[in-house]
Structure 1
Amino acid sequence: MSQERDLALLNDLLQLPAETSWLEFKENNADPERIAKLCSALSNSARLSGRDSAFIIWGIKDQDRQVVGTTFVPTSATVGNQVLQLWLANQLQPSPAFEFREVTHPSGPVVILEISAALSAPVTYAGIPYIRIGPATPKLSDYPDRYQALIDRLRPYHWEAGVALSFLPPEDVLRYLDFASYFSLTKQPLPQSQTAILDRLEADRLISKDVGGRWNVMNLGAILFAANLDDFPVSIARKAVRFVSYSGRTRATSVQHRRDGKRGYASGFQGLMDYIDAQIPRNEHIGRALREAQPLYPELAVRELVANALIHQDMTVTGAGPLIELFEDRLEITNPGKPLVDPERMIDLAPRSRNEALASLMRRMGFCEEQGSGLDKVLTEVEVAQLPPPLLRASDNSMQVCLYGPRTFADMTADERVRACYFHAVLRFLAGDRMRNASLCERFGIEPRNAAQASAVIKRTLEQQLIRVADPEHPRAGYLPVWA
């Protein structure tokens, strides 16, 4: 943290009309137990007040808020045989992030202790949570209404709300972010003034006010609208989308094309899709009058799957971002993080995303379908094209979807036929209908005279307990997914 920002922060805090529940001024009092109780109380109070941080500042006269300097030096303070910072980290549970910073002020040395607001549970000292009420620091348990209010406000960490770049002048915010794309994609007129542009970006939580009239670019703003992701910390830059195409069916074959994304997901999405579309081979389709070259994989399916990979990835996985790989016989789309929904139920259950703000804004900008309607459209497109069914594959560290190139029913594997049968049953159920032998024949392109082939697939899918007979007393009534 720069001295310039800390001086601006100090000036902003000194302008407040009074001490708050998340701010304490001191001259030299460095009693460790007092500091620990204050850390608990201020951290809990900051969360109640909707603040991300609380502060204790040494070197300020409490009565008139004059900067007088302090003799407290946190780096040399100890408790017993432990340095103060380590002692605090052990005494506060769950230990909040905190940082002592020494500031050189013209009127004397100042120390700022910044403590993060409580996240998952009330912060305790020696097993007791405290709260700040006026100048007092009572036990939180003595105020049950405040205790309940704090529990209601505690929330898990949201990556989108993290700060990517801090303490930026307005012109730098507009240099780092492609704000013109934001207004275009959200269908808003571009304001004429810098202030109005910043206000709109702040309203969508892409940026936030810092101190001294400066601004923060939030992770959400950076990942969606970065003009160049390399301008941001490596933890964000590594979230760029990568595309690789190979000459054969394995990664051991030569790389034909490679593209490492530089722009934010939203501002660079259409360019990415155009690039992928240009690399995908074409098949000739004979229409009513003309031969048409159509992409090997349905455009809508690819678009939806790429958008889902961006939205549903685990942003906390370091060193990895979405990866799109094109092979001779398939397209693989991989994103970091184990999915929150079982792959077999992704088509019918509402999606759960770790990145709700990102998902909401991406849908608002039209990059993907409304919540819960995306994967069924992907499978419908695949069925219409009579392609092998996609493979949804989850691991502890990633989620992968494979789209396969055209193959006849005879060339599909037994597992692919069963998977296609299950997906077909789900799509029929979601449409208010039931899968039947005839509908499965149509899905596979099987001639009616060869309907026994579809019957064999249905039998294997029943054996794997993926579907069930809709009405056991009337076997011709059709089939439903086993969970329906």
Structure 2
Amino acid sequence: MSDGTVTLDAHQREQARTHALIDDLRALPAEAAWVEFKENNSDPELIGKLISALSNAARLADQHFAYVVWGVRDGDHAVVGTSFEPSATKHKNQPLDFWLSQCLQPAIAFCFKSMDYQGQRLVLLEIPAAATSPVEFERTAYVRIGSATPRLSDHPERQKLLWAKIQPYAWETGVAAQFLTGDEVLARLDYSSYFDLTAQPLPDNRAGIFDKLRADRLIEADVGGQWNITNLGAMLFAKNLNDFSPSIARKGVRFVAYEGTNRATTVTHRRDGQRGYASGFKGLTDYIDGLLPSNEHIGKAFREEEPLYPSIAIRELVANALIHQDMTITGTGPLVELFKDRLEITNPGQPLMKPDRFLDSPPRSRNEALASLMRRMRLCEEQGTGIDKVLASAELHQLPPPDFREEDHSVRAALFAPRSFAEMTQDERVRASYQHASLRYVSGDRMTNASLRERLGIAERNASQASAVIRLALDANLIRAGDPEHPRAGYVPYWA
């Protein structure tokens, strides 16, 4: 499938892309709201207003970037060159780019680039589109309308639309690799896994492959007939995450197994995930399963050959960590740790809801496109049912209740090795009661003394032990009587 393109180094690629970008911008029939052409006008105040206006206009136009080009005539887009030199320009005794950065809120990574183009010197200002809120210059947000740069607040219809565009903006739509040839895209993405996992036949031509990848927003067209791989495409189907920037590479799933019950003990196994989440998911979960000892307890809910932790619980918790992590937190990714007595799965980012409401609350995700594709590929359960499966499998195997908590701007889920009721802590017994009441409630039933005894493996002759746990859960306001007139008729979670 070679297209005969010579591989470029990073500098050559950047130069080639910039020239192709200028070609495409000049080919526009008129100035778009996210593009401005100038000759030598270098007024710093004007540039500051333009950055605000064009950044906001780019988001309104669903563009990743906006641009100002010095050295191209506005009317006919002819190349005339410029004498503007941003690196030598100062304003209020400060370098221009530093002064601009102090005046813009929120901070955005704009960039000046000087180049030779068709024998003339040009300057390109690349401006990221507004991502978290409208971009303001000196506390005022601007927008581009035709050739005018009015205050955004003077156009409430555009302000409302801009906020509507910003709110669902996702990290997934960002660009992981830019200005790639078709061959380079296919070399970096495990596209055959994409077709296998989505149950689609592999097209017999390049155009068909690219149409499908583009439809699922794994790639997008770049300037000059080249391609970009999106963050979504890289995270799900990278053959090697290290082929991308460190912000992508460090999102790989890391697995560490310890000999004992804490991180100070000897590390027995380590694996740093290098494949995309979708293409590497089965390999990761199989690897974890392969390291788990069998549960040798033989009882009502167990068979000797079953693994220590239910496979479905591991699968769902790993998938949840991938889907719900905060991708904007750099330098870290999902972490799976196996200890002698538990399995912990951690993902960066504060939870979008209280951990004790993971079971029943309407599902929310920071990464909707990633979550949607993973569900389509059956790598995780349908929306809202994953935690149900985790808790139900823990009950079936009579494991201590899983624990979900927020720690250091992360969410940590823990599965615990089998322990008898006598070996459980008071907190674990109460948590098991709350989770059991929640599971029963979402299934249209209520927790009773008898159902809790079965959940905790308490003999009928020791029913008072279950009653004591129920009283503790009531005192903690985690459960309540389903019918206050008949409290023994059963219990429901506090939120029911």
TM-score band by shorter chain is: over 0.9
Preserved contact between residue 324 and residue 332 of structure 1 (Cα < 8 Å) = yes
Sort the Cα spacing of 1:297 and 1:120 in 2 relative to 1 into closer, same or farther, 3 A: closer
Aligned positions of 1:51-62 closer than 5 A: 51-62=63-74
Q: CA deviation at 1:3?
A: 1.6
Normalised to the residue count of structure 1, the TM-score between the two structures is 0.95
TM score, norm. by length of structure 2? 0.92
Contact 2:64 2:174 in 1 (8 A): no
Amino acid at match of 1:325: E
DSSP 3-state at the match of 2:337: strand
Structure 2 stretches lacking a partner, 5+ long = 1-10
Distance 1:201 1:22 in 2: 27
Of 275, 282, 299, 2:294 maps to: 282
Matched, 1:470 2:482: yes
Equivalent position amino acid for 2:185 in 1: V
1:348 is aligned, of 360, 377, 388, to: 360
Q: Which amino acid aligns with 1:322?
A: P
Aligned match of 1:13: 25
Shift of 1:86: 2.3
Paired amino acid for 1:323: L
Partner of 1:222: 234
TM-superposed deviation, 1:388: 1.0
Quote the offset at 1:246 in angstroms. Answer: 2.0
Q: Relative to structure 1, is the Cα distance of residues 133 and 444 closer, same or farther in structure 2, using a 3 angstrom cutoff? A: closer
Please name the residue that 2:4 is paired with: none
For residue 120 of structure 1, the aligned residue among 108, 132, 137 is 132
**8 Å contact 1:120–1:156 — kept in the other structure?**
no
Q: Summarize the Cα distance change of 1:267–1:9 in structure 2 as closer, same or farther, 3 Å threshold.
A: same
Q: Deviations over 1:361-388 (max 9, x none)?
A: 1111111111111111111111111111
Question: C-alpha displacement at 1:121, in angstroms?
Answer: 3.4
Deviation of 1:247 (Å): 2.2
Range that drifts further, 36-45 or 191-200: 36-45
Shift of 1:475: 2.2
The Cα shift of 1:285 comes to 7.1
Question: Deviations 1:39-98 (Å, cap 9, x if unpaired)?
Answer: 233222222222221111111123332212111111111223122222322334444431
Question: 2:158 is matched by which residue type in structure 1?
Answer: R
Task: Give the alignment partner of residue 243 of structure 1, picking from 255, 264, 272.
Answer: 255
Structure 1 CA distance for aligned equivalents of residues 174 and 38 of structure 2: 29
Secondary structure class of the residue paired with 2:306 = strand
In structure 1, the residue matched to 2:188 is: 176
Structure 1's 291 and 140: CA in aligned 2 closer, same or farther, altered over 3 A? closer
Give the AA of the match of 1:82.
Answer: Q
Residue equivalent to 1:263: 275
Letter in 1 for 2:370: L
Moved more, 192-201 or 130-139: 130-139
Percent identity between the two aligned chains? 60
Task: Look up the match of 1:406.
Answer: 418
- Pairwise CA RMSD of aligned residues? 2.1
Please state whether the residue corresponding to 1:300 is helix, strand or coil. helix
Corresponding position of 1:191: 203
Please say if residues 341 and 351 of structure 1, whose CA atoms lie closer than 8 Å, have aligned partners that are also in contact: no
Q: Which runs of 5+ in 1 are unaligned?
A: none
Tell me the residue number matched to 2:331. Answer: 319
Q: Which residue does the alignment assign to 2:96? A: 84
1:298 aligns with 2:310: yes
Please give the per-residue CA displacement for 1:237-284, whole angstroms capped at 9, x wherever unaligned: 111112222222222322222211111110000111111111010134
| CA distance in 1: counterparts of 2:149 and 2:329, whole angstroms | 38
Aligned-partner SS, 2:346: strand
Q: Does 1:34 align with 2:31?
A: no
Report deviation, 1:333: 1.3
Structure 1 equivalent of residue 118 of structure 2: 106
CA-to-partner distance for each residue in 1:133-187, whole Å, 9 max, x for gaps?
3333334444343333333323365221221111111110110110110111111
Equivalent position SS for 2:477: coil
Kept in 2: contact 1:19–1:25 (CA 8 A)? yes
Residue range with higher mean Cα deviation, 378-387 or 139-148: 139-148
- Give CA deviations for 1:302-353 in whole Å, capped at 9, x if unaligned: 1111111111112222222211122222111111222121111111112322
